[in-house]
Structure formats: structure tokens, C-alpha cells
């Protein structure tokens, strides 16, 4: 028996990166998956997003584990599309137990237009709200919602924040606040809501020129190696980043009944990064 056997989990941003890792980890523990992804680029995002081929690979990996998967191409910014994705999942599997709202963009870079801020908030905050608002009315007691924030939202604001960094921080902070309020509202119904907050994670979101420049403003065209030398500044443990699987362990726990009385949690998987910038508070 797997730790989430018999459950159905809807995951946004499931074509690659952390979303794919969560799909595989939840399937390995017995869940069937509704895998949602845009599978297209966004003009203000200076790195390629997931593709149809990526989403097909997630399908293949889940099916290899003998679990069922419904892949849905949908944009989390489109509330109708998200309601449709939830309905398609319910028609396919007859139930929905877990929602992992984690599609996101990080279009940091120099000379990025204000549009990058608007798109970041649209995907990382409005997209999460669209996902949750489509799903919540369909959930029963015992369901678990997990939203992906970021350690970046917990760090001090830099005075010279570029539009995308400002939008990213705002969206993730608002997401954390919303998780707190939604968890409070849904607790009487035995529906749980938690956030996971990764530090730098080794996915394509981290590995693009704009992000490298953010960490190495001293260099014109930093290489991956030069950026990686600066990445550990985020963390208390001396590592540049964690792996998607490190976040998936938390997601499986929060999705499973092992955490049945855990709600409203802001769970940092951050190699101690929070400790570097915050004093102790109860
Ligand atoms: N990688 C990091 O360093 C890091 C750190 C902290 C938090 N996060 C958060 O983790 C989450 C997952 O990111 P990742 O690291 O796997 O990055 P990623 O870029 O590999 O994956 C993000 C996925 O979301 C999809 N997506 C983007 N916009 C979408 C939209 N409008 N509708 C549907 N799907 C969309 C992309 O196609 C892609 O498949 C994000 O919320 C991100 O902000 C990432």
C-alpha cells in the first residue's frame, strides 16, 4: 500500500521540474494524476517553459509506475480553463483528493519590462487562486491542498528589485497569506491547506541568463559555474540548491493522511536559508 494509495492528485506545472517530480513521487505512492501545464512560452519570460513533449514524458513516467494520468494543456491564468481541467479530472477518475498548485515563472533579468511583473503575478498568484477556486468546491473532507511559495518571498527586499523580482516576491508573499486564510476557512470541513517554500531548486527556472545575472551582478555574462558559486548565499547549509525530489518528499507527506492534522503550515525546504535572515519567533 502506498502512502497516497487511491487518491487523485491534480498538479499544475506538471510538464517538468518540480511538478513532474511531484507527479512521479505521488504516483510511486499510489496516486493517480491530473497533470496540467501550459506547454507554451510566455513572451515576457526569457527562458523556454515546458513543452508538450515534456508533458508526454511526465505521462510516460507515471504510467511506468502503473498509475493512471490525465494530461491537460491549460493556462492557470484562465479560470474557465482551470474549472474545465478540474471537471475533466473528475470525469476521468471520479474524485479529487489532492491539489498541488505550483505552476510558476521567474522572468528575472536586466531591462525586463513591467509586463514581466504583471505576468509573474498573473501566473504565480492569480494562477494559484484560479486553480484553488476551481478545485475547492469539488473537495471533500480529508482533501489536501498544497501551494508552492518560495524562500525568495521571505528574504529582505532589495532596493533595486527588477520588475519580475518584485512581482515574484509579491505573488509568493500573497500566496503564503492566502494559504493561512484558506486553511482557517477550510479547517472545519477537514480540508487542509499548506504551503511549501523551496530555496533555489535545480530546475530550468533557476538556470537562465537573467537568474545568473541576478546572482552575479558583478559580471556581464555569468556562466552557470560562476552563478553556482554565488547560489549558496541563499542558504545556511553550504549548497547551491536543492533537488526537485527534496520538495516532493514534503509534498507526498502533506498529501498523505500522515499529515491529517497539519494545516496552515508554511513548510520551508530551504537548507536553512530562512535562519540567515530571520530571528527566532514563536
Ligand atoms: N526553481 C527554483 O529555484 C524555485 C525556488 C523556489 C520556488 N520555486 C517555485 O516552484 C514552482 C515550480 O517551478 P520549477 O522550479 O519546477 O520551474 P520550471 O520552470 O521547471 O517548471 C514550471 C512549470 O510551470 C509551467 N507553467 C508556467 N506558466 C504556466 C501557466 N500559465 N499555466 C500552466 N503551466 C504553466 C511551465 O510550463 C513549467 O512546466 C514555481 O511555483 C516556482 O516559483 C522554484
Gap from CA of 277 to ligand 1 centroid (Å): 24
pLDDT averaged over every residue in the chain: 97
Whether 155 has a pLDDT exceeding 70, the answer reads yes
pLDDT band at 159 (very low <50, low <70, confident <90, very high): low
Q: What residue segments make up the domains of the chain, in order of their start? A: 8-207+243-277
> Is the CB of 259 within 6 Å of ligand 1?
no
> Is the CB of 200 within 6 Å of ligand 1?
yes
Q: Which residue's C-alpha cell is 505573488?
A: 171
> Is the CB of 207 within 6 Å of ligand 1?
no
Gap from CA of 101 to ligand 1 centroid (Å): 10
Mean pLDDT of the region 174-198: 98
Q: Which residue's C-alpha cell is 498548485?
A: 101
Supply 175's cell numbers. Answer: 500566496
Q: Which residue's C-alpha cell is 518540480?
A: 18
The per-residue pLDDT for 157 is 78
**Positions of E strands within 38-188:** 69-73, 98-101, 144-148
Gap from CA of 29 to ligand 1 centroid (Å): 23
The per-residue pLDDT for 229 is 97
Atom 23 of ligand 1, nearest CA residue: 13
Report yes or no: 10 and 71 within 8 Å, Cβ to Cβ. no
**For the segment 204-249, what is each residue's pLDDT rounded down to a tens digit?**
999 999 999 999 999 999 999 999 999 999 999 999 999 999 999 9
Stated pTM of the model: 0.98
Ligand 1 atom at minimal distance to the Cα of residue 122? 31
Q: Which residue's C-alpha cell is 545575472?
A: 213
Report yes or no: 103 and 127 within 8 Å, Cβ to Cβ. yes
**For the segment 13-42, what is each residue's pLDDT rounded down to a tens digit?**
999 999 999 999 999 999 999 999 999 999
CATH homologous superfamily of 8-207+243-277 equals NAD(P)-binding Rossmann-like Domain (3.40.50.720)
pLDDT band at 173 (very low <50, low <70, confident <90, very high): very high
Distance between CA atoms of residues 121 and 174, nearest Å: 10
Clarify whether 168 is annotated catalytic. Answer: yes
> Is the CB of 13 within 6 Å of ligand 1?
yes
Amino acid at each position: 500500500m502506498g502512502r497516497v494509495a487511491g487518491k487523485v492528485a491534480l498538479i499544475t506545472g506538471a510538464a517538468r521540474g518540480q511538478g513532474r517530480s511531484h507527479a512521479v513521487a505521488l504516483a510511486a505512492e499510489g496516486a493517480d494524476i491530473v497533470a496540467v501545464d501550459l506547454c507554451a512560452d510566455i513572451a515576457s519570460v526569457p527562458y523556454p517553459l515546458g513543452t508538450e513533449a515534456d508533458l508526454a514524458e511526465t505521462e510516460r513516467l507515471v504510467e511506468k509506475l502503473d498509475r493512471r494520468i490525465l494530461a491537460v494543456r491549460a493556462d492557470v491564468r484562465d479560470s474557465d480553463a482551470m474549472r474545465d481541467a478540474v471537471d475533466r479530472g473528475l470525469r476521468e477518475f471520479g474524485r479529487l483528493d489532492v491539489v498541488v498548485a505550483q505552476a510558476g515563472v521567474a522572468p528575472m533579468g536586466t531591462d525586463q519590462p513591467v509586463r514581466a511583473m504583471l505576468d509573474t503575478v498573473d501566473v504565480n498568484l492569480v494562477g494559484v487562486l484560479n486553480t484553488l477556486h476551481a478545485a475547492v468546491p469539488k473537495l471533500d473532507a480529508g482533501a489536501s491542498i498544497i501551494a508552492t511559495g518560495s524562500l525568495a518571498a521571505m528574504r529582505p527586499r532589495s532596493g533595486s528589485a527588477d520588475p519580475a523580482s518584485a512581482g515574484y516576491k509579491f505573488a509568493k508573499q500573497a500566496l503564503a497569506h492566502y494559504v493561512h486564510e484558506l486553511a482557517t476557512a477550510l479547517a472545519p470541513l477537514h480540508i487542509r491547506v499548506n504551503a511549501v517554500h523551496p530555496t533555489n531548486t535545480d530546475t530550468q527556472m533557476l538556470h537562465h541568463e537573467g537568474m545568473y545575472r541576478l546572482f552575479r551582478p558583478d559580471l556581464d555574462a555569468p556562466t552557470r559555474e560562476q552563478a553556482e558559486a554565488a547560489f549558496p548565499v541563499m542558504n545556511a547549509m553550504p549548497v547551491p540548491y536543492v533537488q526537485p525530489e527534496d520538495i516532493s518528499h514534503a509534498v507526498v507527506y502533506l498529501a498523505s493522511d500522515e499529515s491529517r492534522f497539519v494545516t496552515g503550515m508554511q513548510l520551508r525546504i530551504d537548507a536553512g536559508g530562512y535562519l540567515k535572515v530571520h530571528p527566532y519567533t514563536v
